[in-house]
Amino acid sequence: MKVLLVEDEVKLAKAIKTGLEQDGYAVDLNTNYDDGLAYATTEDYDFIILDRMLPGGKDGSDICSLIRRKGITTPVIMLTAMGETEDIIQGLDEGADDYLTKPFKFDELLARLRALKRRPKNVVEKVIKFGNLQINTTNKEVSRFSSNKLTTKQTPIKLSKKEFAVLEYLAVNKGTIASKEQILSHVWDFDSDVLPNTVEVFIKSIRKKIDEPGSDSLIETVRGFGYRMRVVNV
């Protein structure tokens, strides 16, 4: 397993590198933003560990958001001296998978790397697009974009929480068919008193809101199996 470590406190950086190597990891170490970003975008890593505050007022979480925009889904752990909840929230929203507040015990870093290893590979994209429909999984906004030669118009679509959850589940699992039972178990809690027919009712109301009149529904019904998001080329 190969790790990219971007950390400017040389003593700490070397200690982490040595510790990780003792645990069997290969480690590339960068001590500034530019090198870190260059390595993160050109080399293939199993994990990236990013210090939040880098020299020159640079922010490690910007590296994270830039690589996510490039479609790089490598798990990222942020190291932050700031234990403030807002910084942690921002770091996670930029696409980080986990964070550690300094000072931390090295064993905890190892444990978190192990935990990330156990996670499924499909990192959820922040914005998922189907044709001109955009689903933002962070702020939970859904909008339709329509454009002519001059302007692009964004029309927000209002969905209830559960409607959004159903749509998000289908969007995150695009390319695979979701059965009604799977949708039920991922969107409703175990104790909920709902039946598979409930899913049909929700799909119907979501279609009414997201589909454009006269075009095929973005949610395909696969008879006998379930539902799947339609692949649309723009």
Binding segment for Ca ion (CB under 5 A), chosen from 46-54, 84-92, 178-186, 217-225, is 46-54
Q: How many residues bind Ca ion (CB under 5 A)?
A: 3
Residue by residue, DSSP assigns the chain as -EEEEE---HHHHHHHHHHHHHTT-EEEEE-SHHHHHHHHHHS--SEEEEESEEGGGEEHHHHHHHHHHTT----EEEEES---HHHHHHHHHTT-SEEEESS--HHHHHHHHHHHHHS-S-PPPSEEEETTEEEETTT--EEEEEE-SS-EEEEEE---HHHHHHHHHHHHTTTS-B-HHHHHHHHS-TT----HHHHHHHHHHHHHHHSPTTS--SEEEETTTEEEEPP---
Task: Say whether residue 125 binds Ca ion (CB under 5 A).
Answer: no
Binding segment for Ca ion (CB under 5 A), chosen from 43-51, 91-99, 136-144, 204-212, is 43-51
When binding is defined by CB under 5 A, the residue of 16, 29, 51, 74 that contacts Ca ion is: 51
Tokens 């929203």 belong to residue = 93
Per CB under 5 A, which of residues 65..84 are in contact with Ca ion? none
Residue 136 half-sphere exposure toward CB, CA atoms < 13 A: 12
Task: State which residue, 51 or 87, has the beta carbon closest to Ca ion.
Answer: 51
Task: Say whether residue 168 binds Ca ion (CB under 5 A).
Answer: no
Give backbone dihedrals phi and psi of 152, rounded to 5 degrees, phi first. Answer: -115, 130
Q: How far is the CB of 6 from Ca ion (least distance, A)?
A: 9
Task: Say whether residue 53 binds Ca ion (CB under 5 A).
Answer: yes
Task: State which residue, 31 or 182, has the beta carbon closest to Ca ion.
Answer: 31
Q: How far is the CB of 79 from Ca ion (least distance, A)?
A: 8
Q: How far is the CB of 55 from Ca ion (least distance, A)?
A: 8
Task: State which residue, 8 or 94, has the beta carbon closest to Ca ion.
Answer: 8
Q: How far is the CB of 129 from Ca ion (least distance, A)?
A: 35
Q: How far is the CB of 81 from Ca ion (least distance, A)?
A: 7
**Mask for 1-40, x = binds Ca ion (CB under 5 A):** -------x--------------------------------
Site residues, Ca ion (CB under 5 A): 8, 51, 53
